[in-house]
Amino acid sequence: MMTTCNHAMYAIVDVFTQFFPQLSELVLPSIYEQFAVCIQQKNEQLARSTVNCLETLILLNGERFTDDMWEKTVKLFRRLFAATLPKSLLTWEPDRPASGAVNDSNNEELDGKVPSIDGRPNGSIHPDAVFSEQIVFCVVQSELVDAVTSIVLGAKKSTDEIVLSIPAMKSEQPNGSDYNNTVSKGLFSTMDPILLLSLCDALGESQRLAKQFNDNNGQRTLLWKAGLRGSSKPNLIR
């Protein structure tokens, strides 16, 4: 299912790029809506692939976007940033067993341990299952930040790498010089300053939450002991 979905999304980017004049105004909102649904499915691999497809679609076609298309693009990014902020990490607390719900021997076993999200002691369920949604949200935030950086300021990878990531386009690469310039320099000059500021607002909100989380050492310790992924305390700032 995952492989089929990935191929379908890459095929969408391929068809959209090849038939941009005929399809752009008609299908871009539908593509964005489908990408948004995939990114919010709480599946890490699917979210990564979809953000990559979104980034690729914009890098390969952004120079031809109209003002209205750019406005829809920025609205999508703002929507995704807002929908995937891992806010629960700031306030999560373990559920304590109700009084009398467990016997004395169980209480002794729980003593000194931080229960998982459903009240069971650590190790009784896979740690990632406790925070799967928040982990995916953290991944999506990171991927979105990287995508916006590549789109606005230039991608770290070359045009060839981007094109070769789309199976259907391996034998039909776009015009070299124009696309190479777009990928290396970004689309900053093609975007309205107001839309750029709107993107900055979304990036700023993501950064503020990450800093607020990293500054709360007690909450990071609590989550780490409860089984949040990693061999050290969680960190949202790279």
73 pLDDT above the threshold of 70: yes
Each domain of the chain, given as residue ranges in start order, spans: 4-91+125-226
The predicted model scores a pTM of 0.79
| pLDDT score recorded for residue 171 | 46
Average pLDDT estimate for 78-95: 92
In angstroms, rounded to a whole number, what is the distance separating the alpha carbons of residues 161 and 165?
A: 6
Tens digits of residue pLDDT in 112-165 = 444 443 333 444 444 455 588 899 999 999 999 999 999 999 876 655 555 545
Residue 98: which pLDDT band, with cuts at 50, 70 and 90?
A: low
| pLDDT score recorded for residue 174 | 52
Q: Which residue has the higher pLDDT, 80 or 121?
A: 80
Number of C-beta neighbours around residue 203 at 10 A: 19
Number of C-beta neighbours around residue 208 at 10 A: 11
The pair of three-digit structure tokens given for residue 159, joined into one six-digit string: 């045009």
> Is there a contact between 85 and 206 (Cβ–Cβ < 8 Å)?
yes
| pLDDT score recorded for residue 1 | 59
Mean pLDDT, the chain, as a whole number?
81
Average pLDDT estimate for 200-226: 94
For every residue of the chain, DSSP letters joined together read: -HHHHHHHHHHHHHHHHHTHHHHHHHHHHHHHHHHHHHHTSS-HHHHHHHHHHHHHHHHHHGGG--HHHHHHHHHHHHHHHHHT--THHHH--PPPPPTTSS-HHHHHHHTTS---TTSPPTTSS-HHHHTHHHHHHHHHHHHHHHHHHHHHH--SS-HHHHHHTSGGGTT-PPPHHHHHHHHHH-SGGGS-HHHHHHHHHHHHHHHHHHHHHHH-HHHHHHHHHHT-SSSS------
User: Which residue, 197, 195, 188, is CA-closest to 63?
Assistant: 188
Give the lowest-confidence range in 90-99, 118-127, 217-226, 228-237: 118-127
| pLDDT score recorded for residue 110 | 41
| pLDDT score recorded for residue 131 | 82
Angle ∠(95,97,102) on CA atoms, nearest 5: 160
